Amino acid sequence: MFTGIIQAIGEVRRLEPRGGDLRLHIATGKLDLGDVVLGDSIAVNGVCLTAVELPGDGFAADVSNETLSLTSLGSLRPGSRVNLEKALTLQTRLGGHLVSGHVDGLGEILERHDDARSVRFRVRAPDELARYIAHKGSITVDGTSLTVNAVDGAVFELNIVPHTLQETIMDEYAPGRRVNLEVDLLARYLERLLLGERAAEAGSSGVDLALLARAGFKV
């Protein structure tokens, strides 16, 4: 588990093909690896990866074909900058929100414009994730815990303050860029709980108006 508070910006050293998938080597910059051991989890652009090598000034992690196909890690190149966060501990301040490091889908940056010292982004999420994105709710973009400022269908808006731009890779974002999205865990569990006994049915389609009506909600 993670908090979505980025601890350092790392840099991809190399991508090493390994039997059809790859091993990703990352220089971790200011990230303190003194308490990291082999097998620990580190989030790279919001993707939970397992450290399999610790050369001292970075780490390496194996990335499966499934992860490459479902996230933006497959587009990384030597020199690419990445957001890094070590797994949280019981002593960690939860400054963001609970993040699993399991990417739900790829979003696309649609627009970017300045708003005083902040920058506003409009991002398109996959249609199937739209129901989990709420005004003033939480969303994780490339591992960064953010607040949704506005929602219009599957498009949502973010307001990014200067500190976040400086401490993450978001200042690189331009229209057309694809980003890793993870929706709020609570939204996913709430949907599952509302299904009740239907959750065990194969092919259950999720929460709909009929289900809400049967549960006593006025729709």
* Residue-wise pLDDT tens digits, 104-148: 999 999 999 999 999 999 999 999 999 999 999 999 999 999 999
Residue 130: C-alpha distances to residues 48, 134, 155 (Å): 23, 8, 8
Q: What does 68-110 look like in DSSP terms, one character per residue?
A: HHHSSGGG--TT-EEEEEEPP-TTS--SS--B-S---EEEEEE
At residue 215, the pLDDT reads 54
Tell me whether residue 105 is exposed, middle or buried, using C-beta atoms within 10 angstroms of its C-beta: 0 to 12, 13 to 18, 19 or more. middle
At residue 202, the pLDDT reads 61
Has residue 84 got a pLDDT over 90?
yes
CATH topology (fold) of 105-183: Elongation Factor Tu (Ef-tu); domain 3 (2.40.30)
Task: Say whether 105-183 and 8-86 share the same fold.
Answer: yes
Q: Secondary structure of 176-191 in the HEC alphabet?
A: CCEEEEEECHHHHHHH
Overall average pLDDT of the 4-21 stretch: 95
Kindly report the CATH class assigned to 8-86: mainly beta
At residue 204, the pLDDT reads 56
Domain spans of the chain?
A: 8-86, 105-183, 187-219
